[in-house]
Structure 1
Amino acid sequence: MTLRKITVEDTVYLYKCVVGFAINTEIATFEITIFLNGYKQTPLKISFITWEDLYAGNPLKTGVKLTKLSTKQEELVNFNKPKYIRECILDGLKTGWKGKNKAAFIDGLEFLKALGYDVVFYIPKRDLLWHIEKNI
């Protein structure tokens, strides 16, 4: 897969998006890996664990409508667009990743929640009941 380039705050980063799924389950992943240009050993990784539908596929691959909780407005969120990759980089920088150091695992759905989006629908189906019970 070819790495794409993005410049954020005068710094060049390279990134890729990879989709995966577990055979015989409804669990899918969408992972974004971002590197500071020249530092491929210390990436920032954001992993979205969601569901996979036999017909629709991974909902995060081509973009999804998410409701912004503060405004109740739907927004098409597509991680193939630089706007959202930029948000990932800025969040990584805010939490201590500088590109030359290893970053902690970032839960993508938690990241989207921190941006103010409702992500309950995208939680894997077998984990949905647990999530609902936890938050009641």
Structure 2
Amino acid sequence: MRKIKVEDNGYLYKCESGFGINTEIATFEITIFLENYKQTPLKINFITWEDLYAGNPLKTGVALKKIATQTEEFVNLNRPKYIREFILYGLKLGWNGQNKLESIDGLRILRSLDFDVSSLYPKEGFFVGHGREYLK
């Protein structure tokens, strides 16, 4: 577990990756706890693709375009910069570290940060995230 401080509160977090139902689909999960409150984590799930050689793009890092500026930013979700953004997003949704929220679609958070996440979706035809969309 790694530590981070956001708005005068201490948090612990961990990042885990795995494979979904199909080997074309990969998962990346970030679990964040307010210090001393391990029973009420903030869970953020990403459903994406995984490359046999390059690995999970969110774990190893990927260049994503900012929609407003059309500039690219190298995004690696292991970096504290993004963990901080996820904590702030959870706080806006009403999570305070002592209450439970449903798992959050991480790609939705990245979109709210103005990233074009279209390159992260699994291949066509697979179920995607909490939005209950199907790629066509």
TM over 0.5: yes
**Matched residue type, 1:31:** E
**Cα distance per residue 1:83-103 (max 9 Å; x no partner):** 100000000000100000001
Q: Which runs of 4+ in 1 moved over 4 A?
A: none
Given that 2:54 and 2:60 are in contact with CA atoms closer than 8 Å, whether structure 1 keeps it comes out as: no
Indicate how the Cα distance of structure 1 residues 127 and 68 shifts in structure 2: closer, same or farther if over 3 A, else same: farther
User: Aligned to 2:87, what secondary structure does the other structure show?
Assistant: helix
1:82 aligns with 2:80: yes
| C-alpha distance in 2 between matches for 1:23 and 1:99 | 30
What TM-score comes out, normalization by structure 1 length?
A: 0.89
Aligned position for 1:57: 55
Question: Where in structure 2 are the equivalents of 1:1-136 lying within 5 Å?
Answer: 3-22=1-20, 25-127=23-125, 130-131=134-135
Given that 2:31 and 2:42 are in contact with CA atoms closer than 8 Å, whether structure 1 keeps it comes out as: yes
Offset, 1:21: 0.9
Offset, 1:22: 3.4
**Cα distance per residue 1:14-53 (max 9 Å; x no partner):** 0000010137520001100000000011000110100011
Name the % identity. Answer: 67
Aligned residues: 129
Aligned position for 2:130: none
Offset, 1:126: 3.0
**Cα distance per residue 1:105-127 (max 9 Å; x no partner):** 11011111111100011101134
Offset, 1:104: 1.8
Which runs of no fewer than 5 residues in structure 2 stay unpaired? 127-133
| C-alpha distance in 2 between matches for 1:22 and 1:66 | 23
What TM-score comes out, normalization by structure 2 length?
A: 0.89
| C-alpha distance in 2 between matches for 1:16 and 1:127 | 30
| C-alpha distance in 2 between matches for 1:36 and 1:109 | 22
**Matched residue type, 2:2:** R
Indicate how the Cα distance of structure 1 residues 110 and 23 shifts in structure 2: closer, same or farther if over 3 A, else same: closer
